[in-house]
Amino acid sequence: MLRQIFLAFAAVPALRLFSHAATLPIHERDTSTGPSCTNTTFLSVALASSLPGVSIISILAREQKNVTVPATPPFSAVDVSGLNFCDVEVVLTHAGMNDMVRVAVWLPLVGSDSTWNGRFLGTGGSGWAPGLFDYNLAPAVKLGYAAASTDAGLVDPSLGYTNPLSPASWALTPSGGVNIPLLTNFASRSIHDMAVVGKAVAAAYYSKPANHSYFNGCSTGGRQGLAEAQTYPTDFNGIVAGAPAINWAHYVVAETWPQVVMHDKNLFPSDCELDAFTAAAIAACDKLDGVEDGVITRPDQCTFDPSALIGTSIQCPSSDGKQNITTIITADVANIVQQIWSGPYNWYGLEKSASLDYLANTTVSKAGKPVGAPFFVSDTWTQYFLAKNPNFDTSSVNTNEFFTLFNQSVTQYDSIIGTSNPDLSAFHSSGGKLLVWHGLADQLIFPQGTVDYFHRVLAQSSNQPHQDTDLDSFFRLFLAPGVDHCGGGTTPGAIPVDPLSAVVKWVEQGIPPDVLDAASADGKLKREVCKYPLVPVYRGQGDANDAASWTCEPDTTWQEWL
């Protein structure tokens, strides 16, 4: 999925995927106005006292009718059409910060055919983009939510919108220091602003507050959801956080570990070679659950040794792609894969079912030689926030330098963007419900970091006086076997279908989710993702592609994985 996202991001100048909602050029809008939507006086009053230390610069409200947001993979698979909504854009600034933050709020139009379901939905971002605007707002409005998105004030002046691939336009101040106010916006503050503004706008427009408020996000969006639970515990009644980019100061640097391993050996395996190890691991461990379906259900129990491939011949495409050539797997390549799977001593490695060629990506130099090509988030984090040098070559970092950068990242930034505070007592006390899910074949964010966070929250909750120590009552974690980052569909596992509905049911009906309905990208495999630490077990009979053929059973060995 991330390779698709990378390509989609590369096309941003043409598609303007992340421009703010009031000026998106990707679909036609009927700009006819209606008095209830365009009267911004009520909004000014509503917002004036909502955010202390925040000044409202402008408010623009327009009635939008019969809007279509076209499919733009990987963000949206189908057109979302027939949308009628009040399109509100609020621009605000924080005292002394010299920032300009846009919050877009879409509200199903008031009228005889009003579809508002009485709920507010905050939406998250991806990569360096704090919000996805139309691509999150359109499906939310179609479902009847009043929904909001924000750019956190991270607009690249040369583009006119946030650059999701790089923080180059905002990371450093003119004097060369890190722009801590804008990093704080990205880390947590602007999601809180979005929640407060979005709920106030909805309450003013509908003349009553939303009955319930929710947040839904994955990756950067998942981290934003947990930032809300930790720092602003009363903003949302229910939060869905998928593949959360928590432990940011740790894991983002750890993403460069495969590049370091290759650099130190001066050896850069091809995608074809790396894919051979992933395929071999899946083949070796696929049947551990009793079913051959291309999915490693328990990656913690997969003991496949990459040295088993040494001397194996594989067919790989030539550099021009015109023919296949025979490649022999060497001991050095197997050792590189083993180090990538093991990870650095102070963090986790990739799971054996996760694609290796995202973090161990390579390219060809001008001299025609293979060289490292770091993933864009870890690369730019190192350049701008650690080295404070846009020209810093992350692919040249050796092992000693890696650990220096890792320690620097944790020391300087964990308190700002780590988003791993295990104390959720205030969120619990407010009645909030938190649903976290993570794919066990995630090729970018290490699922063990999410599991470790769960256990730290459990320990913290057990030590809280006067608190219900049953973590199940407000926080549930679901691990999806064979699913890659945010369920991109390039791996064969069953992806959670609608975790938002599960958390809505939990909040509004008091029915907590024990499983999440899930299906593979092609729809052929149906499963139920088990609540951690339960594990999926095949019943021994029936169609293995049918969820009814599986059950969730207790298992106490997961923690040994950490």
Cβ contact 551:530 at 8 Å: no
Cα 484 → chain centroid: 11
E strands, 362-416, are: 362-364, 370-372
Catalytic position from the list 250, 428, 438, 485: 485
DSSP result, 476-545: EEEEETT--GGG-SSSSSPEES-HHHHHHHHHHH----SEEEEE-TTS--EEEEEBTT-EEEE-SSS-TT
Q: Which residues pair with residue 85 across a beta bridge?
A: 64, 108
Exposed (0-12), middle (13-18) or buried (19+): which is 540, by Cβ within 10 Å? exposed
Beta strands in 70-124 (DSSP E): 80-94, 101-108, 119-123
Residues 12, 18: contact at Cβ < 8 Å?
A: yes
Q: How far apart are CA 9 and CA 163, in angstroms?
A: 8
Look at residue 198 and give its three-state secondary structure: helix
Q: Classify residue 181 by burial, with Cβ atoms within 10 Å: 0-12, 13-18, 19+.
A: middle
The Cβ-side half-sphere exposure at 309, using a 13 Å CA radius, reads 27
Instruction: Give me the sheet containing 526-530, strands edge to edge.
Output: 495-496, 515-519, 526-530
Residue 523 Rama label (left phi>0; alpha psi -120 to 50; beta): left
Identify the burial level of 228 via C-beta atoms within 10 angstroms of its C-beta, where 0-12 means exposed, 13-18 middle and 19 or more buried: buried
Helix (H, G, I), strand (E, B) or coil at 110: coil
Among 151, 286, 293, 442, the active-site one is 442
Q: Within its chain, how far is the Cα of 113 from the centroid?
A: 34
- Strand-pairing partners, residue 129, are 126
The residue assigned the tokens 């999915």 is: 295
146-150 and 362-364 as β-strands: parallel, antiparallel, unpaired? unpaired
The CA angle 426-229-137, to the nearest 5 degrees, is 145
* Spatial separation of the C-alpha atoms in residues 328 and 311, rounded to whole Å: 6
Whether 219 is catalytic: yes
Place of tokens 């024990």: 514
Q: Is the peptide bond before 533 cis (omega within 30 degrees of 0)?
A: yes
Spatial CA neighbour of 255 closest among 364, 363, 354, 126: 354
Question: Of the residues 188, 190, 213, 219, which is catalytic?
Answer: 219
Residues with a known catalytic role: 219, 442, 485
